[in-house]
Structure 1
Amino acid sequence: MKSLLVYLVALLNAPTPAAIPAKDPIPAYPTQDFRSPLDIPMSLAGNYGEPRRLHFHTGLDFRTNQVEGLNVYAVADGYVSRINVSGSGYGKALYITHKNGYTTVYGHLQRFSDKIEKRLQQEQYANESFSVDFTLKKDELPVTKSEIVAFSGNTGGSGGPHLHFEVRDSLERPINPMLFGYKLTDNIKPTMAYIKFYPQDERKYYSSGYRVRTVGANGIYQVAENLVSLNADKVSFSVNTTDRINGSGFTMGVYGMKMFVNGEKKFEFNMNRMMFNEKRSVIAHIDYPIFMNEGRRSFHKCFVEPADECSIYSDVQNRGLVDLSDGKPKAIKIEIYDFAGNVSTCEFNLRKSDAAQVFKTETLEYDQMLFPFKQNEFKNDEISISIPPKMIFDTLPLKYNRVETAEPAFFSAIHQLGKVTNLFFDFVQLKLKPSKPIPAGQEDKAVVVWKNESGNWVSKGGKYDGKILTTTTREFGDYSVKIDTTPPRIRAINVAPGKYMRPLKTVLFTIGDNLSGIKSYKTYIDNKFVISEYDAKTARLFHHLDSNLAAGNHEFKIVVKDERNNEATYTISFRM
């Protein structure tokens, strides 16, 4: 009875979701305008729309034969419209706007061509910062098709040498670059491994679903006995599917999927184009807990969650849910296809059977139901979270626990707000009241901390008003308060006092922080500011020494601040 009551309450409080938004029709993109950005045979390490942690991949990852420094070419005439340099994300990234109105993006670059590098350094020295993000006027840095504009690298959040390449339209929507005429040899059909079924009736909140293995090869798949019996009136399902491309050992995402019931199409998605702010919709499109807990295994849903408004969907009826209430078997057909047109299918029958008992009833403990189309507030005397509409993709039972901790590093209890695998579409406001006094003079050192999926406490920042810390977050999970009074760490790697550095050409250090994170750093030679590069994934900071630096003794100084303005200074002498 309780399960039915919960379900009815959820239905009453969650308005019927709006229909899938009408999409702008996909235009006929120019297929002859763009050349390849590299001059080696095209091979991919990642494709457009591939599910990644917290985002869809919005470009192509061109392999560079595991090396850096390959020529990167402007794919067509245009002008450099933006340069973005950071120690994370796209690293060194270049944006070129073309005469046809599209902009191409080149990410994880090692360095830029001389004329672009010169303009970049002007901006960096003007701001005394390695990290810059600026736009340029149309006539400032024109480029021609096949001009070398950069060299491939491994900067930013890259996991290995490659070139990240995007095409965006005038609305900043990333478009599948394959639509612009790029060709790959590909006769490999997508593979399927599992189908997972979900109840969509009153069992929805009390069952984690039911998984069956698919069997088959060469694009033809089926399930055991060709019949799946489920103890629910209404169901949905997801498919564990991936793709490969000839000549690449990397696993790719699929281009699209269709689902038919009794011969009628009920659902389709394809990876042609999306808004840039829709990248995070991956948390609704795939079964994200499986993705995080099972080694990035992608189960693509054949249905649309109530508040998922991503523009990849089309021809969706009743959100892709399958009604089994009449007891009659339903003929299901799934078609999965890649960009080259290779298609894999799986056909089976689906029926309701109360005797099946595959949706096992699980204990549901919760303190409050959260609804996707309402303003949700959860609060008590110590913690509150304000959740605007459409920040969660479906009704969510929220379980809260307060756990006391004797660890002196914590200045509040640990507040458990649901599961770490539950996520928001965007930032929501969280307020947390310390349960121990913040030491006088350290009020600006207090931070909200969150335990990530690896079990590590990481800073979420926050502003303390003397009573409450206020911050923003996009995650459920465990929260508390800590104080960061520890300065950042600086360690020399290849330089020692008085060392002769001319043959090495580069001074190399590591920098890091214990909690709130690196906010800024500056480097100086003989008290004159110089640009040094920072790679967040390796925590390495390095400066390429000017070959014209005078012979003799010099002093290199690093000043690093963290997000709580703790500062560390490191000074070392060297010889040239």
Structure 2
Amino acid sequence: MGNSGSSSGPHLHFEVRDTRTQEPINPALFGFEIADHTPPAMRQLKVYALNDRLETIGEQLFRLRKNGRHYRLSEDTLVVGAWRVGFGLKVYDQHDHVPNLNGIYALRMYVDDSLWYAFEMERFSFAQTRYLNAHVDYAARVRDRAWFNRTWLLPGNRLEAYPHVSGQRGALPLYRNRPAHVRLVAEDPWGNQSELTFWIRRGEVTPPPPRPYNYHIDWATGGTVRLDGLRLHLPKGALYEDLYLQCDIQNDTDAAHYAHRYRLASPEVPVHRWAELAIAPARTLPPRLRSKAFVGWFDDSGQLVSCGGTWHDDGMLHAHVRQLGDFTIGIDTVPPTVEPVSFSRDMRGRSQMRFRITDNQPVTGRARGLRYRATVDGRWILMEYDAKKDLLIHEFDGRIGPGEHHLRIVVTDDRGNRTTQTYTFIR
């Protein structure tokens, strides 16, 4: 049973796996009768101008016109000022009479009626899950919560879901006097298809403006960024393509922060493997607060999120991160809270007791969430933790007998701040 993701309650996780490799196989391919006569819905097309290294140097977004399962652009021929392009298709699949938006099963691109690119989700390895961040337009996913399927491969993409890729990793060369006819076909496991067709040719190519950056990290080797009071090491395999970072130090006047605010590119850059980030305090940190200090990352609302951290002999606070953006050192001295939700002194006839546990400091990455321990009359009891609702739940199963009992709940956060609550109840 599971209750993860966007589910609203416990549900059964059903999988079909290859017993030899343990790879999950798409269960829709095994003849289950699911009402689905609805073809995938195409929403938008992105055209990415690519340089000779197949790096994006510009992009254009186009809305689509629908006619049954066929889609068109508002213009017959796209004219793009680039020597080569890649495409991104925003497309979702749905079952009949169900509002859920699902990913597509397959996407194929034909150029002048010849297969150019194919993506197919028949199976995949759990070890390759994060490579989906390279398959989609990750920046659009973070910024707009939109899923654009790429039709060309980033160099660090190791997802084994592409039975056919032509040209340079799927990039399409453009010619001024020879338009290419492009047909994109999206398909679900039940054979329902949608298709988008258009023509495209090269227009006047003008050099893109130089991109501002002060660090270039090669995707194949990784690299290290060093600023005053900061060190970021991106190991080999952390990136899907070369990274051009604009890193700088910003003045942070918040008295609760003990380091500069460092800007390391943007959260819109995907990071595949854990990177090591080390930050030194910019002002004196009292000894009593050293154990309460954490490497903090600013989310899109400006809230500081703890990445955890440990002090090393170099005098810097080290943490492993898997996102870029703005960082500093924060302090957490506030203990968690424990609040009775379904509890009273007289628990006779009750089937369960529930408590809400919360913390003021959100965490991410390898920072630990709340840890808890509950005892009745000094003996450990099982408490189920519903992380979605912040609830600790104990189901009475007869092991706590009649009479008066003493309950003790201890909750500890990532920085060791601890709350202990004691209660007396009768069964």
**TM-score using structure 1 length:** 0.69
Deviation at 1:373, TM superposition (A): 1.0
Match of 2:50 among 190, 194, 200: 200
Match of 1:289 among 139, 144, 151: 139
Partner of 2:153: 304
Q: Does residue 404 of structure 1 match 2:255?
A: no
Partner of 1:486: 334
Match of 2:96 among 240, 246, 250: 246
Deviation at 1:545, TM superposition (A): 2.2
**TM-score using structure 2 length:** 0.92
Structure 1 CA distance, aligned partners of 2:125 and 2:4?
23
C-alpha deviations, 1:473-497, integer Å up to 9, x for none?
110111111122222211112224x
Checking the alignment, whether the CA contact within 8 Å between 1:157 and 1:537 is kept in structure 2 is no
Structure 2 CA distance, aligned partners of 1:540 and 1:464?
32
Structure 2 CA distance, aligned partners of 1:157 and 1:523?
27
Percent same amino acid among aligned pairs? 27
Q: Does residue 384 of structure 1 match 2:231?
A: yes
Q: Any runs of at least 4 consecutive aligned residues in structure 1 with deviations exceeding 6 A, and if so which?
A: 202-206
Partner of 2:323: 475
Partner of 1:93: none
Farther-moved stretch of structure 1 (232-241 vs 246-255): 246-255
Q: Does residue 506 of structure 1 match 2:352?
A: yes
Q: Does residue 544 of structure 1 match 2:395?
A: yes
Structure 2 CA distance, aligned partners of 1:421 and 1:415?
16
Deviation at 1:396, TM superposition (A): 2.1
C-alpha deviations, 1:233-269, integer Å up to 9, x for none?
1111111111111132211211100111112211100
Deviation at 1:399, TM superposition (A): 0.8
Deviation at 1:326, TM superposition (A): 5.5
Partner of 1:233: 83
The 1:571/1:363 distance shift into structure 2, 3 A limit, reads farther
Letter matched to residue 80 of structure 2: L
C-alpha deviations, 1:206-250, integer Å up to 9, x for none?
844001112123211111232111001111111111111113221
Structure 2 CA distance, aligned partners of 1:288 and 1:314?
22
Q: Does residue 268 of structure 1 match 2:118?
A: yes
- Show structure 1 runs of 5+ residues with no match: 1-106, 109-154
Checking the alignment, whether the CA contact within 8 Å between 2:48 and 2:56 is kept in structure 1 is no
Structure 1 CA distance, aligned partners of 2:356 and 2:317?
31
Q: Does residue 451 of structure 1 match 2:280?
A: no
Deviation at 1:198, TM superposition (A): 0.5
- Show structure 2 runs of 5+ residues with no match: none
Letter matched to residue 537 of structure 1: K
**Alignment partner of 2:131: what SS?**
helix
The 1:546/1:270 distance shift into structure 2, 3 A limit, reads same
Match of 1:530 among 377, 381, 395: 381
Partner of 1:354: 204
Checking the alignment, whether the CA contact within 8 Å between 2:117 and 2:164 is kept in structure 1 is yes
Matches within 5 A, 1:556-575: 556-575=407-426
Deviation at 1:530, TM superposition (A): 0.4
**Cα-Cα RMSD:** 2.1
Checking the alignment, whether the CA contact within 8 Å between 1:203 and 1:232 is kept in structure 2 is no
**Alignment partner of 2:342: what SS?**
coil
Partner of 1:421: 268
Match of 1:322 among 172, 175, 199: 172
**Alignment partner of 2:272: what SS?**
strand
Letter matched to residue 392 of structure 2: L
Structure 2 CA distance, aligned partners of 1:362 and 1:280?
32
Structure 2 CA distance, aligned partners of 1:206 and 1:200?
5
Checking the alignment, whether the CA contact within 8 Å between 2:176 and 2:201 is kept in structure 1 is no
Structure 2 CA distance, aligned partners of 1:404 and 1:229?
45
Q: How many correspondences in the alignment?
A: 418
Farther-moved stretch of structure 1 (230-239 vs 402-411): 402-411
Partner of 1:373: 220
Structure 1 CA distance, aligned partners of 2:140 and 2:21?
33
Partner of 2:15: 166
Structure 1 CA distance, aligned partners of 2:295 and 2:399?
47
Checking the alignment, whether the CA contact within 8 Å between 1:495 and 1:501 is kept in structure 2 is yes
Partner of 1:220: 70
Q: Does residue 255 of structure 1 match 2:105?
A: yes
Structure 1 CA distance, aligned partners of 2:324 and 2:296?
12
Structure 2 CA distance, aligned partners of 1:416 and 1:474?
15
Partner of 1:16: none
